[in-house]
Amino acid sequence: MLSALALARRIESGDLTPRAVVDLCAEAIAAREKEIGAFVALDLVAARRAADDAKVASRPLRGLPVGVKDIFDTADLPTQYGSPIYAGFQPRADAAAVALTRRAGGIVIGKTVTTEFATMVPGGTHNPHNLAHTPGGSSSGSAAAVAAGMLPIAFGTQTAGSVIRPASFCGVTGFKPSYRLLPMPGIKDVAWHLDTAGVFGAGVVDVAFATAAILQRDLRVDRSAPAAPRIALVRTHLWPQANPAMQQAIEHAARSAEKAGATVVDVAPPPILEEAYAAQFVIQDYETFRSRAYEYDNHRDRLGKELRESLDAAAAITADAYDAARRTASRGRQVFADIMAGHDVILTPSSPGAAPRGLSSTGNPMFNRLWTLMGTPCVNVPGLSDSGLPLGIQVVGRFGRDRLALEAALFVERAIAG
């Protein structure tokens, strides 16, 4: 994989040029894209032209190539949302996150595969670790491209588990910031109370560096050793759904962090969090039906069967049920904030286990839904495996304390590595 931070440092020192990094990505794309299928659009000619700009290396992202999930509008590349309804569609403006990336000196090299409207119908991308397995979704192309060394940085989004789960399956770091820390204008809505843009990279320092550069915030964690965090090990009602390998991975991560100096305590989740988990389904389905109103009303026959049936069912959710679910979510956030008052982060599975075999499903986001609803920063920490396939550890922080969550994730990452 390509470390964004390491590449940026080499560019800063004059040891490497942005053009050379684009060429590295182009070589990896030529070698692996045919079998992986991570991209729906590429423009290496424009990327090389942008890399040759003498000013780009002096900007915060140092001219690093970036992949953009194909639900982010781009003014110079088609944006098709994973749907034939929008085949060849060309926006006239960049999504805000894309514009900020270019402003920071990032070079958009291409658009990465998304599931249909970032929901459930897979886009055909293969897992770089084993082509017979899913890379996860809905940010499948972004996670796979980073895992295959085709990009140092890529954007994704998460409504249920679409950053953390594919990061876990592909063995990369995925960072879902606090709700809407990254701007959402110009990104196709799924569920507006849940949708959160995120970043993929090789390691924790890489996603922290990239997000800091794009947002011009103090999020970098590479300039000093991370402090020992206070960790809560939370086994929610879903814990039995994690397979033995994932349960062992969480226990190993907790023991390793404790051995390295962290404080680790078991925390029993209160019942309201299970209620909030159930509320997430109602909120997501109610809002998805409304965000897809145009497509459902005008192009229903061109929607994938699974999405079409999901929207049919969601049409029956009442406003009263939706409002009740939102009230439950609000209570859950209050209780979660109380729990986190004595802890920096929690450890929990990123997924039920390693990537499932086959491409008909992108896997189950059950271990991500609650934390997306809470709006908290989440980081997938790679480094463990099950039969050669990656297993990710999810580090969940407090809302608005993204740097602390990244620092704790780095601590866990280093503890796992020994």
Q: Quick: pLDDT tens for 318-333.
A: 999 999 999 999 999 9
144 contacts 101 by C-beta, under 8 angstroms: no
List, edge to edge, every strand of the sheet that includes 263-267: 39-42, 107-112, 65-69, 153-158, 196-201, 173-176, 378-386, 389-396, 345-349, 230-234, 263-267
Whether pLDDT at 78 is above 90: yes
SS3 217: coil
By percentage, how much of the chain surpasses pLDDT 70?
100
Q: Which pLDDT score is estimated for 273?
A: 97
Whether pLDDT at 263 is above 90: yes
Q: What pTM does this model have?
A: 0.98
**Residue with tokens 């190993």, as numbered in its chain:** 252
Per-residue confidence band for 85, with pLDDT thresholds at 50, 70 and 90 = very high
Q: What integer best gives the mean pLDDT of the chain?
A: 97
Closest CA to 380 of 194, 133, 158: 158
- Average confidence (pLDDT) over 161-185: 98
Per-residue confidence band for 120, with pLDDT thresholds at 50, 70 and 90 = confident
| Cα 200 from Cα 137, distance rounded (Å) | 13
| Cα first-last separation, the chain | 20
| Cα 145 from Cα 147, distance rounded (Å) | 5
Q: Quick: pLDDT tens for 194-224.
A: 999 999 999 999 999 999 999 999 999 999 9
- Average confidence (pLDDT) over 31-47: 98
Per-residue confidence band for 418, with pLDDT thresholds at 50, 70 and 90 = confident
Q: Which pLDDT score is estimated for 305?
A: 95
Q: Which pLDDT score is estimated for 393?
A: 98
Per-residue confidence band for 15, with pLDDT thresholds at 50, 70 and 90 = very high
Select from 3.10.150.10, 3.40.190.10, 3.90.1300.10, 3.40.50.970 the CATH code of 4-215: 3.90.1300.10
| Cα 2 from Cα 152, distance rounded (Å) | 5
- Domains of the chain, by residue range, sit at 4-215
Least confident of 23-27, 120-124, 363-367: 120-124
Q: Which pLDDT score is estimated for 7?
A: 98
The structure tokens listed for 335 are: 């209780």
- Average confidence (pLDDT) over 381-409: 96
190 contacts 288 by C-beta, under 8 angstroms: yes
| Cα 36 from Cα 67, distance rounded (Å) | 15
Q: Which pLDDT score is estimated for 311?
A: 98
Strands 196-201, 263-267: pairing kind: unpaired
Q: Which pLDDT score is estimated for 183?
A: 98
Residues of 315-325 as b/e, b for ≥16 C-beta within 10 angstroms?
Answer: eebeeeebeeb
DSSP class of residue 318 equals -
| Cα 189 from Cα 9, distance rounded (Å) | 35
SS3 267: strand
Closest CA to 280 of 108, 123, 158: 158
SS3 257: helix
